[in-house]
Amino acid sequence: MTPDALHSAIHALLRDVSQRAILPHYQTLADHQVTAKAADDVVTVADHLSEELLAEGLAKIIPGLPIVGEEAAHADPSVMDRLSGPCWIVDPLDGTRNFAKGKPPFGILLAMAEGGECHTGWIYDVLTDRFCVAHRGKGAFVNGEKVHARPTGEALPVAAISLIFMDPARREAVHGQVSPHYRCVDVPYCAAEQYPRLVLGENDVSIFERTLPWDHAAGVLFLNEAGGKAARPDGSPYRVDDGRKGLLGAASPPLWDELAGLMDRLGA
């Protein structure tokens, strides 16, 4: 299958799954259709149905390629072992917290990886049909147009700092060290929105604590291929099979360097 044919097939699949599994439940969820997955996380019937339909569709696009889905991995942690080889990585409904409250943003994240490295990624906005694509070494695209990451140009760079998964002491330390140097804005609680914001001139830098592969594989590739930078705080590349915490994203390498320097003072 050619890259263009693959992208067309993926776009069609994401649209179909959105129409069948996600949008019918948007702003119509009953209480029993939302359950707690963890103290700080929820899952809905739309998440489960979307992952089921995506798995069926992906198996038709590339038969036999293993799938690492967020909900499957939650139910069976051994699914994560598939990350060491060729695989799909699926977040069937990114931004579930927002979706469950009946508000945007939310989307679908999909990636292909091999040997722990993501080589192709897709970020889909269910409500707007925005379709972001990235190929390793080939660039980043939004709705078929090649894009280049651009800073906001504001006097104080704009920072979206995700503090939710940090312990209280670290949260306070990060906020105290970083926030004076930026204009801090609310995070969207949705990686499918946060990475495009770094590329499209809305945000300059982001800090992520939890770095699960379905949340970050596609976004990291998209930002890096657009000419921005996403990497571990020590500068090492993000790998989907690396369970460490901590990830920094920026609209340009100089902005990344400035943020990494601030974080280094915390021993991050």
pLDDT tens, position by position, 228-256: 999 999 999 999 999 999 999 999 999 99
| Across 132-161, average pLDDT | 96
What whole-number distance in Å separates Cα of residue 38 and Cα of residue 42? 7
Task: Say what the pLDDT of residue 179 is.
Answer: 82
What whole-number distance in Å separates Cα of residue 132 and Cα of residue 119? 14
Strand, helix or coil for residue 170:
helix
pLDDT tens, position by position, 186-231: 889 999 999 999 999 999 999 998 899 999 999 999 999 999 999 9
CB atoms within 10 A of CB 203: 27
Residue with the two structure tokens 């080939």: 138
Residues contacting 159, CB < 8 A, separation 6+: 178, 179, 182, 183, 184, 185, 203, 204, 205, 206, 207, 259
pLDDT tens, position by position, 97-116: 999 999 999 999 999 999 99
Decide if pLDDT at 168 tops 90: no
pLDDT tens, position by position, 30-86: 999 999 887 678 999 999 999 999 999 999 999 999 999 999 999 999 999 999 999
* Domains of the chain: residue spans and CATH: 3-146 (3.30.540.10), 158-264 (3.40.190.80)
Cα separation values, 111 from 90, 91, 157, 167, 226, Å: 7, 9, 29, 29, 16
Decide if pLDDT at 268 tops 60: no
Residue with the two structure tokens 């601030």: 262
Strand partners, 42: 36
